Amino acid sequence: MTYLDHAATTPMRPEAIEGMAAQFGKAGNASSLHASGRAARRVVEESRERIAQALGARPTEVVFTSGGTEADNLALKGLWWSRGRRRVVSTAIEHHAVLDPLAWLEQHEGADVTLLPVDAGCRLDLAALDASLGDDVAFVSVMWANNETGVLQPLDEVVARASAYGVPVHSDAVQAVGAVLVDFAASGLDALTLTGHKLGGPYGVGALLVRRELELTPVLHGGGQERDLRSGTIDVPAIAGFAAAVELAVKEQADTHTRLSALRDELVAGVLAAVPDAVVHGDPARQLPGHANLGFPGCEGDSLLMLLDAQGIECSTGSACNAGVPQPSHVLLAMGCGPEEARGSLRFSLGHTSSAADVQAVVAAIGPAVQRARAAGVRR
Amino acid sequence: MRVLAAMSGGVDSAVAAARAVEAGHDVTGIHLALSRNPKSYRSGARGCCTIEDSNDARRAADVIGIPFYVWDMSEEFHEGVVEDFLSEYAAGRTPNPCLRCNEKIKFAAVLERGLALGFDAVVTGHYATLRTGADGLVELHRAVDAAKDQSYVLGVLTQEQLAHSLFPLGDTPKPEIRAEAARRGLLVADKPDSHDICFIADGDTGGWLTEKLGASAPAAGAIVDADGEVLGSHEGTHHFTIGQRKGLRLGVPAADGKPRFVLDISPVTGTVTVGSREDLRIDGLSCIKPRWCGAVPTTLDGPEVTVQLRAHGAEHRASVRVAGESVEIDLLDAASGIAPGQAAVIYDGSRVVGSATIASTRRTAVGEGA
């Protein structure tokens, strides 16, 4: 099996599985006052401290959630309600976990949402950001790195510009943690989303890093856990596994970057040698180490995916599904690709299990697969 | 062989896929997304284009243990089937979209893409059988379960298409297929059969046509009898099909007190002509656009030659003459309520010879006092 879809989810690290397994079967609600409760609470707080330490945050700034989507919803809706301003600025290339809450705010809360354009290399247009900022902006949300192309966004510039107006900035960094250096304090961000399953931890757990002074209206109300920001019984085993994974991913980040970017460059070079007219989407100089988004003119991405899948090579078309039907990627469309070009792309994303053998498998299979897919043609 | 199993989410296509695996084929399941705006859930037993159906197909593929993908054929379906349906109704004819779908989508667009991607055939859950004839050609025959036989809607398939098709259910009665599905652990075993037209979710064809045709929908007009006397009015000829009895809303009863039926539809003048059941009887058909399953015949008048004029309709003994694109059919057993646009599928015994689209009907021997 050649698994090259780590950006969708990556296998759990053994350290995370052990960290989780050690908590299964133990009694104790972390909110309870007795000894078992205190023991559970201790695991949660130690996990919080480990995550804060790894990411340049203070422990109180770590708010555990059920994952990236919930953290994004809490950041966006929480800031919308606490700030009481009408305008919202984000980008056209955000994940649906950001785009859809913004669309909901637009439809149900009267938000005036501006989605900033990107250039052909998938980088945010800072001039458009300048033009959209003002005192009436509730918040800015810009992803750390795009999930389809891996292209890093100019967050330093975004933060500098927004802070001139006192506008808070959120960033969805689920793809970035463990792949590049992420330091919450140094970033100047007000809120940052991360999730367990993208970095070797379990599904169903994530966190929103929230700057201590930031006012945020909760979305989930109940028992008042997580500083009243996120009610709900705390998932102790998941948090223990999550902390182990974050710690490990951050510790190994520099080595991971070196190893994966070399493998990724090899993959891209090999594919281009086999399919000379393939197109690299993104900005090779400024992207995550494990991402390669490649366009294959004259092919449907889902034809290629199926042909590679049949040979045990797993990747993604980098597109959202509407009722199981692949739609052209909104990210590639925002980069200026036509619908046909956007549908003809594949995302290979490498991670901690990737090896040179995986790269060789893709390089060997891609030429014949493209030939077949071209024969099958493209939809109008 | 490497085969594509077209899986609708229903019980038949699921069992067909499972049987193809058992026969030793390398099977990949696909669900065709045919609607541009898929609905999330079925209402009642109708429809076959919902997300729920797609999920049912996926679960069946999981149980069978085959790869599964959704193929978007919504544009091809719209152009080849839905638009054809609209223009036929607007012209006063009564098309059968299931035949068009088999002709243009399942055994054309899907098959072509499959062949290009390295597959050898398409397997479906249609009730029909394939045999190899003495001449080496693939023959399409009726299924053993006469009540479920679907050879009629496959009558548009050419030799090339039949040579790349598999119909594993033709030898088995439907109740046994349901039992087999249950035995195989397929959760769709007791899912109701689909009926009617899959893209008209509520079954209200007239209302759907009014909405889709919009300004180009046929105008309101008069309902007249054979002598031209006006009996009532209607809201557009697309609400009618020949042989229809219900929904005429005629205030005046017929002189003989018998029910009246639609005999003729003229969208140009907006006139709907009604008359008695006897007036519906016809014994001749002029057809166009023939599609032959094998060799092109010239004259067919053997004792076993029959035609079928609607899905699950009766067999009529017939004699058939073919001249290029034109097919003349004399019916030895009169038919009733036959509309232009319907398909006449020609059989020799249980074998499907081909099909043609009815352009006009005629009555010669039948009629007076019949």
Decide if A316 touches B, using CB distance below 8 A: no
Highest mean pLDDT among A273-277, B257-261, B363-367: A273-277
Of A324, A326, A379, nearest to B51 by CB-CB distance is A324
Tell me the average pLDDT across A256-271: 98
Q: In what order do the strands lie in the sheet with A279-281?
A: A279-281, A291-295, A345-349
pLDDT at residue B368, rounded to an integer: 44
Q: Nearest-CA residue of chain A relative to B117?
A: A372
Binding residues of B: 6-13, 32, 125
**Residues in chain A within 8 Å Cβ distance of B113:** 303, 376-377
- Nearest of B143, B124, B168, B153 to residue B8 by alpha carbon: B124
Cβ distance A309 to B38 less than 8 Å, yes or no, reads no
CA A54 to chain centre: 18
Decide if B74 touches A, using CB distance below 8 A: yes
Q: Give the global pTM.
A: 0.90
Decide if B83 touches A, using CB distance below 8 A: no
Contact of B223 with B244, CB cutoff 8 Å: no
Cβ distance B28 to A310 less than 8 Å, yes or no, reads yes
| Domain regions of chain B by residue span | 2-190, 218-276, 279-362
E-assigned strands of chain A? 2-3, 62-65, 87-91, 112-116, 137-141, 169-172, 191-195, 206-210, 279-281, 291-295, 313-314, 321-322, 325-326, 345-349
- Nearest of B89, B142, B63 to residue B341 by alpha carbon: B89
The residues in B 30-49 lying below 8 A from A, measured between CB atoms, are 31, 33, 38
**What SS3 state is found at B166?**
strand
How would residue B46 be classed by pLDDT, with cut points 50, 70 and 90? very low
- Nearest of A144, A140, A185 to residue A166 by alpha carbon: A140
Distance (Å, whole) CA B354 – CA B155: 5
pLDDT tens-digit map of B229-268: 898 999 888 888 899 988 888 877 777 888 899 999 988 8
CA distances (Å), origin B230, targets A323, B5, B250:
50, 53, 10
**Residues in chain B within 8 Å Cβ distance of A324:** 31, 33, 51, 54, 58, 70
pLDDT at residue B41, rounded to an integer: 47
Cβ distance A306 to B38 less than 8 Å, yes or no, reads no
- Nearest of A141, A150, A131, A92 to residue A284 by alpha carbon: A150
E-assigned strands of A258-367? 279-281, 291-295, 313-314, 321-322, 325-326, 345-349
Cβ distance B72 to A326 less than 8 Å, yes or no, reads yes
Decide if A326 touches B, using CB distance below 8 A: yes
**Mutant choice from B35, B71, B78 vs A, greatest count of A C-beta within 10 A:** B71
Contact of B67 with B28, CB cutoff 8 Å: yes
Binding residues of B for ATP: 6-13, 32, 125
Q: Nearest-CA residue of chain A relative to B69?
A: A306
Q: Nearest-CA residue of chain B relative to A323?
A: B51
Q: DSSP letter string over A110-157? A: --EEEEE-B-TTS-B-HHHHHHH--TTEEEEE--SB-TTT-BBP-HHH
How far away is chain A from the Cα of B112, in angstroms, using its nearest Cα?
A: 7
- Nearest of A74, A95, A114 to residue A221 by alpha carbon: A74
Size of interface A-B (CB pairs under 8 A): 49
Distance (Å, whole) CA A117 – CA A112: 16
Looking at A22-36, A140-154, B76-90, B199-213, which range is the least confident one? B199-213
CATH number of B2-190: 3.40.50.620
Residue B291 pairs in a beta bridge with: B355
Distance (Å, whole) CA A26 – CA A37: 10
Q: Tell me the helix, strand and coil percentages in chain B, rounded to 5.
A: 30, 30, 45
What is B218-276's CATH topology?
Answer: SH3 type barrels. (2.30.30)
Query: What are phi and psi for residue B107, nearest 5 degrees?
Result: -110, 20
Percent of chain B with pLDDT over 90: 67
Distance (Å, whole) CA B286 – CA B294: 21
Query: Dihedral, CA atoms, B94, B96, B97, B100, nearest 10 degrees?
Result: -120
Decide if B59 touches A, using CB distance below 8 A: no
Of A323, A325, A372, nearest to B116 by CB-CB distance is A372
Contact of B329 with B284, CB cutoff 8 Å: yes
pLDDT at residue A134, rounded to an integer: 96
Cβ distance B117 to A324 less than 8 Å, yes or no, reads no
CA distances (Å), origin A48, targets A64, A190, B303:
8, 18, 86
Strand B343-348 to B305-308 pairing: antiparallel
Decide if A297 touches B, using CB distance below 8 A: no
pLDDT at residue B364, rounded to an integer: 81
Which residues of B belong to the active site? 101, 198
**Residues in chain A within 8 Å Cβ distance of B67:** 306, 309-310
Cβ distance A376 to B117 less than 8 Å, yes or no, reads yes
Residue A193 pairs in a beta bridge with: A172, A208
pLDDT at residue A321, rounded to an integer: 62
Contact of A136 with A142, CB cutoff 8 Å: no
pLDDT at residue B37, rounded to an integer: 67
Contact of B316 with B329, CB cutoff 8 Å: no
Cβ distance B67 to A309 less than 8 Å, yes or no, reads yes
Please give the single-letter amino acid code of residue B51. Answer: I
pLDDT tens-digit map of A213-223: 999 999 999 99
Distance (Å, whole) CA A265 – CA A350: 11
pLDDT at residue B34, rounded to an integer: 87
Only one residue has tokens 């000379």, namely A276
Contact of B266 with B339, CB cutoff 8 Å: no
| Cα radius of gyration (chain B) | 22
The whole-chain average pLDDT of chain B stands at 90
**Residues in chain B within 8 Å Cβ distance of A308:** none
Cβ distance A325 to B75 less than 8 Å, yes or no, reads no
Neighbours of B341 (CB within 10 A): 20
**Residues in chain A within 8 Å Cβ distance of B116:** 372, 375-377
pLDDT at residue A319, rounded to an integer: 65
Of B31, B74, B118, nearest to A372 by CB-CB distance is B118
Domains of chain A: 14-251 (3.40.640.10), 253-376 (3.90.1150.10)
Only one residue has tokens 């479906």, namely B124
- Token pair recorded at residue A129: 């950001």
- Nearest of B49, B50, B62, B55 to residue B18 by alpha carbon: B62
Only one residue has tokens 């900022």, namely A133
Residue A46 pairs in a beta bridge with: none
Residue A91 pairs in a beta bridge with: A116
Decide if A307 touches B, using CB distance below 8 A: yes
Query: Dihedral, CA atoms, B311, B316, B322, B324, nearest 10 degrees?
Result: -20
**Residues in chain A within 8 Å Cβ distance of B78:** none
pLDDT at residue A380, rounded to an integer: 62
Which residues of A belong to the active site? 321
Decide if A27 touches B, using CB distance below 8 A: no
- Nearest of B59, B69, B35, B7 to residue A300 by alpha carbon: B69
Cβ distance B72 to A379 less than 8 Å, yes or no, reads yes
pLDDT tens-digit map of A65-123: 999 999 999 999 999 999 999 999 999 999 999 999 999 999 999 999 999 999 999 99
Tell me the average pLDDT across A225-237: 96
Of B72, B76, B117, nearest to A325 by CB-CB distance is B72
Measured N-to-C along each axis, helices A253-274 and A356-376 cross at an angle, to the nearest 10 degrees, of 40
**Mutant choice from A302, A325, A340, A372 vs B, greatest count of B C-beta within 10 A:** A325
Of A306, A372, A376, nearest to B69 by CB-CB distance is A306
pLDDT at residue A55, rounded to an integer: 98
Residue B275 pairs in a beta bridge with: B261
CATH number of B279-362: 2.40.30.10
Cβ distance A306 to B54 less than 8 Å, yes or no, reads no
Helix (H) or strand (E) holding A99: helix A96-109
For residue B47, pLDDT over 70 is answered with no
pLDDT at residue A118, rounded to an integer: 98
Decide if A181 touches B, using CB distance below 8 A: no
- Token pair recorded at residue B302: 């053997």
DSSP, res A180: B
Neighbours of B39 (CB within 10 A): 15
- Nearest of B130, B118, B106 to residue B30 by alpha carbon: B106
**Mutant choice from B69, B73, B76 vs A, greatest count of A C-beta within 10 A:** B69
Q: Nearest-CA residue of chain A relative to B114?
A: A376
Distance (Å, whole) CA A290 – CA A314: 14
Q: Nearest-CA residue of chain A relative to B54?
A: A324
Q: DSSP letter string over A13-36? A: PHHHHHHHHTTTT----TT--SHH
Residue B70 pairs in a beta bridge with: B31
**What SS3 state is found at A281?**
strand
Q: Which residues of B242-262 are buried (b: 16+ CB within 10 A; e: fewer)?
A: bbbeeebeeeeeeeeeeebbb
Distance (Å, whole) CA B166 – CA B128: 9
Cβ distance B113 to A376 less than 8 Å, yes or no, reads yes
Decide if B72 touches A, using CB distance below 8 A: yes
- Nearest of B220, B222, B199 to residue B210 by alpha carbon: B220
How would residue A320 be classed by pLDDT, with cut points 50, 70 and 90? low
- Token pair recorded at residue A142: 């810009």
